[in-house]
Structure 1
Amino acid sequence: MGASPKTSLYVGGLEKNVTEQVVHAASIPFGDVKDISMPLDQATQKHRGFAFITYFEKEDAAAAMDNMHNGELYGRVLTVNYAQPQKMKGGEQGWASQAVWADADTWFERQQQEEEINRLNVEHQATVSAAEEADRKKLQEAQEGETEQGDAAEDPMAAAEAEALKVT
């Protein structure tokens, strides 16, 4: 966990050209900054429009929040409030760090993949069943054509059936 929630701030509404250095420069007037984190979008490798700033002192974090919330940076209005503790995150993607609908695309992809896998499994099962049926017919024809054990010795089930037939 590390940082206290009272020293960590969430800063949202960042313009796409804002860098960690810009966030640091905007944050430093309120106190010593311990850490800045700008999570990246995995697809674009650009930040996702928000950052987390951790101050050493909770008074500095409070001053930064009071002064930066609804302030402008690169022409965008910022939203600044206390960051939620890491342990609040849950789910596959860490739901506290992104919008509810942000995972929709991967959900649809996963649904399509599951449907494709199910379709392939059904096709595979049908192929296996057809092959098993063909083998059964071949075996049955082979048994009907036999007078002695012959090939039946290779298949334990066929051998057992042949033995049973001899006994009766």
Structure 2
Amino acid sequence: MNIYVGNLSYRMNDSELEKVFAEFGEVKSAKVIVDRETGRSKGFGFVEMADAASGAEAIEKLNGNDCEGRTLRVNEAKPREERPRRQF
């Protein structure tokens, strides 16, 4: 199950994000999205859980909870929409 995690602390990294979700089950991957140019966190990320049951539990327990002073927004990730590339 792929999970969107929003409103992350800008100091959080991939391994810290993985630790938050690891208590609910096996984490296949955890990725904090960073700005390509600055290397700074964009404040959101994605976590892939090994099974749907542990993913659903993590969403239920973590959504709206405080993590490093910020209220997390956690829900099932939606497939990315295809958008036309911007022309410059």
Q: State if a TM-score over 0.5 links the two structures.
A: yes
Q: CA deviation at 1:42?
A: 1.5
The answer to whether 1:45 aligns with 2:49 is no
1:84 is displaced (CA, Å) by 1.0
Q: Secondary structure at the match of 1:85?
A: coil
Query: Where is the helix percentage greater, Structure 1 or Structure 2?
Result: 1
Could you tell me which residue of structure 2 aligns to residue 124 of structure 1?
Answer: none
Gap runs ≥5 in structure 2: none
The corresponding residue for 1:32 is 26
2 CA distance for matches of 1:89 and 1:77?
29
Distance in 2 separating the partners of 1:70 and 1:12 = 10
Aligned counterparts of 2:62 and 2:14: Cα–Cα separation in 1: 16
User: Could you tell me which residue of structure 2 aligns to residue 157 of structure 1?
Assistant: none
Equivalent position of 1:68 in the other structure: 62
Larger relative contact order (Cα-Cα within 8 Å, sequence gap ≥ 6): 2
Report how many aligned residue pairs link the two structures.
88
Percent identity between the two aligned chains:
25
Q: Which has the higher strand share?
A: 2
User: How far apart are 1:77 and its partner, in Å?
Assistant: 0.3
Partner of 1:19: 13
Q: Which has the larger radius of gyration?
A: 1
| 1:25-70 Cα shifts (integer Å, max 9, x gaps) | 1100111001112221012111210010000100011000001100
Q: Spell out the pairing of 1:53-64 with structure 2 (5 A cutoff).
A: 53-64=47-58
